[in-house]
Amino acid sequence: MKIFFTSFLVLLLFFINPVISEQKIAIINMDKVISTSNLGISILKQLNDVKNKNSNFLKKEEKKFQEKEVKLISQKNILSETDFKNKVDKLKNEIINYNKIRNKMVSDFNKLKLDNTNNLLKLINPILIDYLNEKKISIILQKKDLVAAKTELDITDEIIKIINTEIKEFKIK
């Protein structure tokens, strides 16, 4: 009887162990969440508006420099050599200042984009944690870091629906 009881206990432990160690894993495509959720679309539109505004400003400035250059070239024969050289130097300095402004605008825009993307992810993170706890999921992995996975593990569309209902608006700063 003791042998039967011991063997039954050992077999029971072997069958219970795999059930206890089962962990739920989910996959999310964060790029899709950012590009297709209402919140992500809003942020991308706002960033695109800032980019277009900067681009228009820079194009206008470039056009002014081209006009100044054409005017200066047309005055080359009229002006004395020293006056012409001074005007060329002045134009070069203006272009150097313009390039500094352009580089600053580009770096400021990149910083703005990075900061707001990080703020968006900070808003999404609590939603993911709540979802994780609610569905008793152990791990959520990014889809771009995987080689292959079952499509049933993908929670991207569910998260997008939750984000669209919970977060209505986000203004870039």
| Residue 138: strand, helix, or coil | coil
pLDDT digits (tens, 9 = 90+) for 30-86: 999 989 999 889 999 999 999 999 999 999 999 998 898 888 888 877 878 888 888
What's residue 58's pLDDT? 92
Going from N- to C-terminal start, the domains of the chain cover 24-166
Rounded mean pLDDT, 2-12: 65
Say if residue 114's pLDDT is above 70: yes
What is the pLDDT confidence band of residue 9, given thresholds at 50, 70 and 90? low
What pLDDT shows up at residue 2? 67
Higher-pLDDT residue of 84 and 6 is 84
Measure the CA–CA gap between 24 and 9, rounded to whole angstroms.
27
The stretch 138-167 carries a mean pLDDT of 85
24-166 carries CATH number 3.40.50.300: no
In which band, very low, low, confident or very high, does the pLDDT at 101 lie, cut at 50, 70 and 90?
very high
Among candidate residues 11, 37, 34, 19, the one with its CA nearest the CA of residue 165: 37
Amino acid residing at 34:
I
The DSSP symbol for 31 reads: H
Q: How far is residue 63's CA from residue 84's CA, in Å, rounded to a whole number?
A: 21
Residues whose CB falls within 8 Å of the CB of residue 124, separated by 6 or more in sequence, listed in order: 33, 159, 163
pLDDT band at 113 (very low <50, low <70, confident <90, very high): very high
Q: What distance separates the 2 farthest-apart alpha carbons in the chain?
A: 119
